[in-house]
């Protein structure tokens, strides 16, 4: 009896020192309820024999166990169990005693990372042990068993544990105990007696998991196990990153960055082109260094012509004027006069003529000869044959100068005769000149005949000389 008490005290003391059975905390304690099944000379079933007993629950008891973690596959342990042991088949086939047993054992765990995941909440295991058992009298049942001596026992078992929390689990185990004696039932006729045990219990982990960086998250759950001291962490043990920019708050100099924004090592908005506008707001993120930009990060374009000032050779172009790649107004005809100022943008001209070409000296000379060189029959619009050489010169000039696309043929008379008559006569004479020029190959679309009658004299109609000068056909080139 003294030995039993001593072993129980040792088991309880060990239990008070127990810690979580992991690589960090190597110990765990189990408290079990036990139902014992005899098998021997009186018969019996070591697994399911609940019938042959004086008690509804069979021969029951309790026990403590202490497990020590060795590695992911193996645990070592010590247990102590105390309870009733016996069988009752009839008045002549019966025995009962108390039984105390203690053994050391090893567990082979299947959730070792090879067969099952280490993180599984279910932990099946196999067990093998070596121990001893002693027996004693049950009150009111004297001399119903042989209580002398102690038996050597070899428990063979299997079980499963379910981890409810890090600190608490439930466990079932079945042990078949081989003994070295055949006398406890007071019948010695065959092989040694044996007994089976169903153990259902709870397992407590009483330690604190290892937390290397002291952040409150155990190393086994800590995804950032080297967090600096006093840094706030999340449930995974990683430094808090409020703005989710990948830079933890304790290093983040700009902790309120926009979600999904790219940041630098300090957690501040990236500004790839160093123009003072963060990339997330920068419409022109590749602006050359030192170029002035607007609030959108784009180079300033003072005249709004689409060419930034730093590339604009003409930074003060008027609004809405078309420009070239250098920001200068387009000059289609290349005469040095921008199209928006050029009244003849498709023909080279002069500043004096607002971009239009002047009439060449040769052409002007021919036109001057035609003033009085084109002659008509009196009071008629019929051209005298003597005028043909002069008109032919005009044809040649117009063919050589295709840029003269708008030519007025202006007919004039002196003041002799009625004014209405003179107006109609001058129109007909101008049309007759056009008809001649067209017959010689000049495009009709270039020629506009106009009659002015006596309304635009260039000399005094009171003299023969003056009237001669007023009777004329002049050519005016429009650009």
pLDDT at 427: 97
Measure the CA–CA gap between 153 and 380, rounded to whole angstroms. Answer: 154
Domain with CATH 3.30.1330.60 in the chain: 361-478
Pairing mode, strands 194-204 and 168-179: antiparallel
pLDDT at 17: 34
Q: Residue 270, Cα to own-chain centre: how many angstroms?
A: 16
pLDDT at 302: 86
Q: Is residue 273 within 8 Å of 261, Cβ to Cβ?
A: no
pTM exceeding 0.75? no
- Using only C-alpha atoms, the chain has a radius of gyration, in whole angstroms, of 60
pLDDT at 215: 86
CATH architecture of 2-204: Beta Barrel (2.40)
Give phi and psi for 386, each to the nearest 5: -60, -20
Measure the CA–CA gap between 35 and 50, rounded to whole angstroms. Answer: 9
Measure the CA–CA gap between 328 and 312, rounded to whole angstroms. Answer: 7
Q: Closest by alpha carbon to 157, among 174, 132, 177, 178?
A: 174
Element (H, E) at 435: helix 419-439
Q: Is residue 391 within 8 Å of 384, Cβ to Cβ?
A: no
Pairing mode, strands 406-412 and 59-69: unpaired
Give me the residues of the chain with pLDDT under 70, please.
Answer: 1-25, 49-57, 207
Give Dmax (Cα) for the chain: 179
Angle between helices 419-439 and 388-400 (to 10 degrees): 60
Measure the CA–CA gap between 255 and 240, rounded to whole angstroms. Answer: 11
Measure the CA–CA gap between 447 and 479, rounded to whole angstroms. Answer: 13
pLDDT at 195: 92
Token readout for 174 is 């079945």
Measure the CA–CA gap between 470 and 426, rounded to whole angstroms. Answer: 11
- The CATH number that domain 361-478 falls under is 3.30.1330.60
Burial 177-209 (b: 16+ CB within 10 A, else e): bebebbbbbeeeeeeebbbbbbbebebbbebeb
**Beta-carbon count within 10 A of 378 CB:** 6
Q: What is the 3-state secondary structure (H, E, C) of 259-289?
A: CCCCECCCCCECCCCCCCCCCCCCCCCCCCC
pLDDT at 23: 62
DSSP state, residue 92: S
pLDDT at 57: 64
pLDDT at 10: 39
pLDDT at 28: 92
Domain with CATH 2.40.160.20 in the chain: 2-204
CA terminus-to-terminus distance, the chain = 135
List own/partner pairs for 112-117 with CB under 8 A and 24 or more apart: 112/72, 112/73, 113/72, 114/73
Measure the CA–CA gap between 192 and 184, rounded to whole angstroms. Answer: 10
Q: Is residue 344 within 8 Å of 332, Cβ to Cβ?
A: no
Q: Residue 109, Cα to own-chain centre: how many angstroms?
A: 43
Measure the CA–CA gap between 470 and 457, rounded to whole angstroms. Answer: 5
Q: What is the dihedral of CA 48, 54, 55, 59, to 10 degrees?
A: -60
Pairing mode, strands 447-451 and 406-412: parallel
pLDDT at 16: 34
Q: Is residue 100 within 8 Å of 137, Cβ to Cβ?
A: no
């Amino acid at each position: 009896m003294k030995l039993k008490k001593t072993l129980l005290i040792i088991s309880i003391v060990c239990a008070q020192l127990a810690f979580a059975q992991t690589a960090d905390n190597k110990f765990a304690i189990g408290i079990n309820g036990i139902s014992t099944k005899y098998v021997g000379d009186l018969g019996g079933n070591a697994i399911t024999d609940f019938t042959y007993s004086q008690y509804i629950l069979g021969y029951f008891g309790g026990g403590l166990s202490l497990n020590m973690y060795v590695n992911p596959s193996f645990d070592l342990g010590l247990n102590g169990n105390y309870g009733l042991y016996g069988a009752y088949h009839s008045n002549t086939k019966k025995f009962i005693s108390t039984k105390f047993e203690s053994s050391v054992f090893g567990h082979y765990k299947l959730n070792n990372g090879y067969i099952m995941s280490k993180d599984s909440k279910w932990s099946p295991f196999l067990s093998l042990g070596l121990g001893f058992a002693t027996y004693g009298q049950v009150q009111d049942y004297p001399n119903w068993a042989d209580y002398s001596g102690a038996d050597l026992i070899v428990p063979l078992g299997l079980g499963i544990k379910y981890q409810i929390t890090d600190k608490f689990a439930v466990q079932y185990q079945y042990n078949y105990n081989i003994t070295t004696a055949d006398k406890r039932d007071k019948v010695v006729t065959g092989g040694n007696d044996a007994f089976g045990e169903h153990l259902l219990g709870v397992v407590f982990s009483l330690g604190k998991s290892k937390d290397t960086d002291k952040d409150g998250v155990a190393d086994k759950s800590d995804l950032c196990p080297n967090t600096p001291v006093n840094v706030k962490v999340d449930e995974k043990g990683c430094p808090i990153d409020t703005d989710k920019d990948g830079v933890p708050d304790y290093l983040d100099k700009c902790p309120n960055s926009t979600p999904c924004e790219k940041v630098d090592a300090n957690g501040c908005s990236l500004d790839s082109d160093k123009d003072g506008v963060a990339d997330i707001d920068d419409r022109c993120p590749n602006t050359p260094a030192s170029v002035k930009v607007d609030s959108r990060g784009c180079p300033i374009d003072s005249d709004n012509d689409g060419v930034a000032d730093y590339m604009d050779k003409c930074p003060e172009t008027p609004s809405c004027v078309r420009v070239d790649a250098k920001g200068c107004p387009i000059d289609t005809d290349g005469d040095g006069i921008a199209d928006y100022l050029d009244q003849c943008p498709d023909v080279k001209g002069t500043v004096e003529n607002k971009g239009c070409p002047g009439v060449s000296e040769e052409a002007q000379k021919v036109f001057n000869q035609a003033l009085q060189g084109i002659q008509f029959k009196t009071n008629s619009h019929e051209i005298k044959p003597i005028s043909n050489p002069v008109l032919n010169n005009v044809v040649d000039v117009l063919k050589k100068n295709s840029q003269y696309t708008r030519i007025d043929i202006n007919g004039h008379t002196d003041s002799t005769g009625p004014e209405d008559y003179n107006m109609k006569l001058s129109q007909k004479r101008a049309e007759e000149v056009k008809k001649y020029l067209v017959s010689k190959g000049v495009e009709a679309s270039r020629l506009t005949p106009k009659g002015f009658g006596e309304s635009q004299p260039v000399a005094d109609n009171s003299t023969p000389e003056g009237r001669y000068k007023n009777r004329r056909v002049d050519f005016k080139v429009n650009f």
